[in-house]
Structure 1
Amino acid sequence: MTTSYKTDAEILDQYNTALTNAENQPEIAAAMTEFDYGPEKITEGRQILDATQNAYNFNKQEDDETIDARIYYKARKKALYQTFKRDRKKARIAFRNDVVTLSQLGVIKSIPHSYVSWVDTMKFFYNIVVNNENIAAKLARLKLSADVATATLSDIDAMESARKLYYQETGESQEATQAKDAAFVKIDEWMTDFFDVAQIALEDKPQLLEALGVLVRS
């Protein structure tokens, strides 16, 4: 049996079809029983397959949650970047002739590329607006009041939480992938032996082999 070109879902479907037919078709069941693949042995395979299906479903769920968390985090990050970029421009306009204040706000230098430095720079900027009444008063006419700055600080906290959730989901997804892969190794080994035995047990009945998903060359 070759499964290397198939998706995990296709492999699970193939295995399920083979075991279902081995359980429900009397002629196949009788032939396989003669080679130690009776009801108890097939039940063993079914249990391993069910465990693999559960691992696959859980892995898919974790992957979906990771994708959702990534989209949410990236959207918040992009929005904050644009907000901060715009607010820096407002500060440069309000204090275009006040180099000291521009330096105090940290808007003379370019926006840092690293995440940590970028977040620190934003927090520093907005905290000054919140805590310095004179600066806040001059920025208020450009719709950057202390209240707006406070709200933006909350947005930064929300983005950081979204980032933590994204990395948490990424880790859980990786663990789920490892568990899924281990489960597939186990069911692949079991089904490989099953198919090998089936080719012997049903050697003279190619139509029954094909019912198990084994391609018989004419």
Structure 2
Amino acid sequence: MNNQTIDAQLLQAEVAIHNATTNDAVKSAMALYGYDTTKVAENQALLDQGKTLHTKQKKEYGEQYSATDALSKSMKTADKWYIKHVKIARIALKNERGIWQSLQINGRRKKSQSGWVSQATVFYLNALSNPDVLTAMNQFGVSQEVLASTQLLVQDVANKLSIQLKETGEAQDATIKRDEALDLLMDWMSDFKAIARIALEDDAQLLEMLGIVKAAA
């Protein structure tokens, strides 16, 4: 369900509750069928909860989108250097099968973000701890300092991925809680409207005040 639909549902419920509690004719008619001020107040509480959780859900998804964009930007920068260093390592260490394995430079680079972080982290950690790798890479213009600075870029990606995953989880949780609250609100409104059609069946204008269009006979 998109946000515009939910916004419309919340607004409709708000209008119905307001008019059911401020219009004397509606109040009197509905009270005869058990929907007095106290009972209608129950729906106000459901409405308030739904609005609060809907606002929070929007906030959480905004934070998720920001975290995703930050991750994408960070990864794009780091990947440019990482791929370059992998290509150079394959040339500089072309006869070193054991080192290839330790740097994980065999085969394709992993496409998933977590897989990329894992491969890149291993590459720079093992490259910087192996003097033979440092010597070989330096001969092709990749110094220890360059590798170390790129390692920091990879760590930044890892940090941003962790944040993005957290924000994604929070956004999903906010959606579940929002939807549960809306289900309760819509269930209450369904009964309310059904009773209103009975209580106000002879007054189409009052029904319209509650957002209910009288069905054709």
Measured against the shorter chain, the TM-score band is 0.7 to 0.9
The more displaced of 200-209 and 148-157 is 148-157
1:40 is matched by which residue type in structure 2? Answer: T
* Secondary structure in structure 2 of the residue aligned to 1:149: helix
Give the TM-score normalised by structure 1: 0.81
Residue of structure 2 equivalent to 1:39: 37
Task: Report the Cα distance in structure 2 between the residues aligned to 1:66 and 1:198, rounded to whole angstroms.
Answer: 41
Task: Give, in whole Å, the separation in 2 of the partners of 1:167 and 1:24.
Answer: 46
Could you tell me how far 1:138 is from its partner in structure 2? 5.8
Deviations 1:62-102 (A, max 9, x none): 22222222222233233322221122234456x3xx52358
Deviation at 1:26, TM superposition (A): 2.2
Q: Shift of the alpha carbon at 1:203?
A: 0.8
Amino acid paired to 1:197? I
1:124/1:103 CA distance change after superposition, 3 Å: same
Q: Provide the aligned length of Structure 1 versus Structure 2.
A: 212
- So what's the TM-score if we normalise by structure 2? 0.82
> Partners of 1:118 and 1:101 in 2: how far apart?
23
CA contact (8 A) 1:90 1:142 kept: yes
The answer as to whether partners of 1:111 and 1:118 remain within 8 angstroms in 2 is: no
Amino acid at match of 2:14: N
The question of whether the paired residues in 1 share the 8 Å contact of 2:200 and 2:206 is answered with: yes
Distance 1:24 1:108 in 2: 72
Q: Which residues of structure 1 form unaligned runs of 5+?
A: none
Which range moved further: 197-206 or 173-182? 173-182
Q: Report how far residue 209 of structure 1 moved.
A: 0.5
Aligned to 1:202: 200
Q: Any idea what SS the aligned residue of 1:189 has?
A: helix
Aligned to 1:151: 149
**For 1:19-168, what aligned pairs fall within 5 Å after superposition?**
19-92=17-90, 95=92, 99-100=94-95, 104=99, 106=103, 109-113=106-110, 115=112, 118-132=116-130, 135-136=133-134, 139-140=137-138, 144-168=142-166
How has the CA–CA distance of structure 1 residues 157 and 181 changed in structure 2, closer, same or farther, with 3 Å as cutoff?
Answer: same
Q: Counterpart amino acid of 1:111? A: R
2:19–2:210 contact (8 Å) kept in structure 1: yes
**Matched-pair identity in %:** 26
Unaligned stretches of 5+ residues in structure 2: none
Q: CA RMSD in A?
A: 2.9
CA distance in 1, matches of 2:109, 2:120: 10
Distance 1:21 1:123 in 2: 61
